[in-house]
Structure 1
């Protein structure tokens, strides 16, 4: 055992994360996990468990920004442990999960679920603009009759 109480052979679990307006989602990719322990604090996330082959996994993550521990949850499945943590400041996007800018080999962005939520706002504005354009087009009156076109003029095309 090390001084901190962790076993010397513990390693971090492979972790994916993505950002939304009000929540940050974190997924620890551990199949058939046992002895799962999750602690969510205002600026820190601590995760530990044992894998199916009894390898001890441990992650201690200093978070990029403040979360609300009492409004954050986690769920264990056969394939992973998923957390959602409510951001205290939902108006700000998180460019990374960790406080430090260092790259961690065990931590990746979940691009399948990632969305730039500023784009969501722009998409809604664009959709509303497009809807208004269609409405304006609809109100222009009946379509032209095109009576001035004869069969001979179409043959020359």
Structure 2
């Protein structure tokens, strides 16, 4: 009686299905009998012993649904997808604790109950790495709307320092460093200081209000416009002073040249003979202009 060869069979399961992969190549018209708790398979193909007739019988641990189960023949293997009658995880595929040597685990498809629980558990990167995610989002997208609440904590100190420095605008006209009165700058600086130090800094509940963000933004924009206007006005004043100085210098040089020419002409009229005056006059005039 010829020896019955068994192919390698790889199995895996999910909570509702059982999968089998029969390692046989070039299988044609396999003989398959599927019952509630048994699978019989026989076919000719290329297996571990080359081209031969291979067969196996597998008794399942629990019942399956033959009508909902199916198989498909491929060039390199035969795949079975078997539907469990009752959903659940089987401790083993066979009814007996000892499994055949040709039956192996399909690690490519293998899943356990713990793996499914891990897959079902939703992971949120914002909860797992909150600091890293917020830093990355800030670098890529800039500050978000939620950052408005932390405005005072982030820039409150620099804003208070800048506000104290604005008292120099009151002191400069008082000491004569700049022109103009000190009353208007004093009212402006005092008003902002009362708002910043007495109404905001002294009340911690105001630190997280959105109005702080908009107030600091408006103050900053006003100062940018005002300082740039002052800078342009100062540059225009310097240009006017430079132009006036240049005109005075040019007029002085022109007056000096006229005076020198007048002295030379007077000298020629009194000291040079009449026949040579025209030549001397021309030469000295050119020398005076040069």
Question: Do they superpose with TM above 0.5?
Answer: yes
1:93-124 per-residue CA deviation (whole Å, 9 max, x = no partner) reads 12222111113221111111111244323432
In structure 2, what is the Cα distance between the partners aligned to 1:58 and 1:123?
37
- The structure where strand makes up a greater share of residues is 1
Which residue in 2 is equivalent to 1:154?
none
SS at match of 2:12: strand
User: 5 Å matches for 1:2-151?
Assistant: 8-52=2-46, 53-90=50-87, 92-127=88-123, 130=124, 133=127, 141-142=146-147, 144-145=150-151, 146-147=154-155
TM-score (norm 1): 0.75
Which residue in 1 is equivalent to 2:186?
none
Where in structure 1 are there 5+ consecutive unaligned residues?
A: 2-7, 151-157
Q: How many residues are paired up?
A: 139
Q: CA deviation at 1:19?
A: 0.2
Where in structure 2 are there 5+ consecutive unaligned residues?
A: 129-133, 135-145, 159-290
1:113-141 per-residue CA deviation (whole Å, 9 max, x = no partner) reads 111244323432343xx38959xxx9xx4
In structure 2, what is the Cα distance between the partners aligned to 1:72 and 1:85?
4
- Given that 1:10 and 1:55 are in contact with CA atoms closer than 8 Å, whether structure 2 keeps it comes out as no
Q: CA deviation at 1:148?
A: 5.9
Task: Name the Cα RMSD after superposition.
Answer: 3.0
1:65-86 per-residue CA deviation (whole Å, 9 max, x = no partner) reads 1000111000001101100110
TM-score (norm 2): 0.43
Q: Highest Rg: 1 or 2?
A: 2
Bigger relative contact order, structure 1 or 2, given CA contacts below 8 A and separation 6+?
1
1:40-99 per-residue CA deviation (whole Å, 9 max, x = no partner) reads 100001111112454111110100110001110000011011001100111x11222211
- The structure where helix makes up a greater share of residues is 2
